[in-house]
Amino acid sequence: MKKKVALVTGGLSGEAQISYKSAITVGNNVDRERYDLYRIDINSEGWWYEAANGEKSKVNRDDFSVTDNGAKINFDVILLCIHGTPGEDGKLQGYFDMLGIPYTSCDAATSALTFNKRYTVAVASFGGISVARSMHLFKHTPVAPNEILAQLSLPVFVKPNNGGSSIGMSKVNEAGELAAALDKAFKEDDQVLVEEFISGREFTIGVVRNNAGIQVLPITEIITKNEFFDFEAKYQGRSEEITPAQIDAAMQEKLEAAARRVYEVLNCRGVVRIDFIYNMTADRPFMLEVNTVPGQSEASVIPQQVRAMGQSLKDFYSSIIEQALG
């Protein structure tokens, strides 16, 4: 009997537009001979089941069930495609834990931790991973730009502490630019991370747990046409993504070891994407952040990496679903 899978998309943040694109790719590549797929859209107007004929009906939040053609549908597993809140920050994970429904992402604790960039780098550093020096700022306790620059050296990155897709992020090269960058980031979040710039080559690495253990996907190097890998570079063609990265065996080994270590230290599940800067002077990778629900659109990195290792997306998503069910 086929398992019933809820493909959950949408979200309550500016990243919802990316979630819908991811859901298209995932939905097109789920093995329909093994799974019955039901699309669930969570947005500011409610939680909705979208039937094959386009009709929408509300999800029963008491048990996360839907009605389809007069029949009540309870799900065997949740396939999460929400970037940002509430699908990447642990809120939905806690809800599904309470209902006893398995899901394909990291658990509630890991999701909440990794959604907070500052706490992520703190835990990673404690686990022996190299990270940039940074400051964690709160809107309710303002810190003057000169106080920040007394502790950190320019250039710095200023970014919302909770969020993704580089929304609200700035690179600050001169002291006079810092105040505006802080204002921009605080419009997106009540917490902001200010992080010292690390020069080097930028890489992003998919990591997944399957029946064989922790598997590192082919590494992608990011070469951006902008000053840094911002929203435009990520989603509007302003970057070049080389998969697999053209690197020597020693660099590949260090990047793979760091990615595997981050996955272990943060107790990840499912597929995650980890961003690194490889500093040539220090000859080691520095972790930037962790994405526990990475983009799955046709333009996204994970599908590129899956294809580069010779696996179909259908088999890849099947293995993720089976791992969650197992």
* 243 is a domain residue: yes
Question: Is the torsion defined by CA of 149, 151, 156, 158 positive or negative?
Answer: negative
Both 34 and 126 in one domain: the answer is: no
**Of the candidates 171, 174, 170, 204, which has an alpha carbon nearest to the alpha carbon of residue 188?**
170
Q: How many CB atoms lie within 10 A of CB 21?
A: 20
What domain range includes position 121?
A: 112-131+198-292
Phi, psi of 46 (to 5 degrees): 140, -170
For residue range 96-148, list pLDDT tens digits in order.
Answer: 999 999 999 999 999 999 999 899 999 999 999 999 999 999 999 999 999 99
| pLDDT at 232 (0 to 100) | 44
Average of pLDDT values for 258-276?
A: 97
Both 271 and 211 in one domain: the answer is: yes
Both 206 and 99 in one domain: the answer is: no
Q: CATH number of the domain at 212, please.
A: 3.30.470.20
- Separation of CA 148 from chain center: 28
Beta bridge partners of 4: 36
How far is residue 170's CA from residue 235's CA, in Å, rounded to a whole number?
17
Both 43 and 99 in one domain: the answer is: yes
User: 285: cis peptide before it, omega within 30°?
Assistant: no
pLDDT at 158 over 50: yes
Both 69 and 18 in one domain: the answer is: yes
Q: How many domains does the chain have?
A: 3
Q: CATH number of the domain at 76, please.
A: 3.40.50.20
For residue range 238-251, list pLDDT tens digits in order.
Answer: 679 999 999 999 99
Both 285 and 206 in one domain: the answer is: yes
Which of 60, 88, 104 is where one domain is finished?
Answer: 104
Both 240 and 182 in one domain: the answer is: no
Both 122 and 267 in one domain: the answer is: yes
Both 158 and 175 in one domain: the answer is: yes
Both 87 and 184 in one domain: the answer is: no
Query: What global pTM score does this model have?
Result: 0.89
Both 88 and 41 in one domain: the answer is: yes
Q: Which amino acid is at 252?
A: Q
Both 18 and 57 in one domain: the answer is: yes
* 44 is a domain residue: yes
Question: Is the torsion defined by CA of 45, 49, 51, 57 positive or negative?
Answer: negative
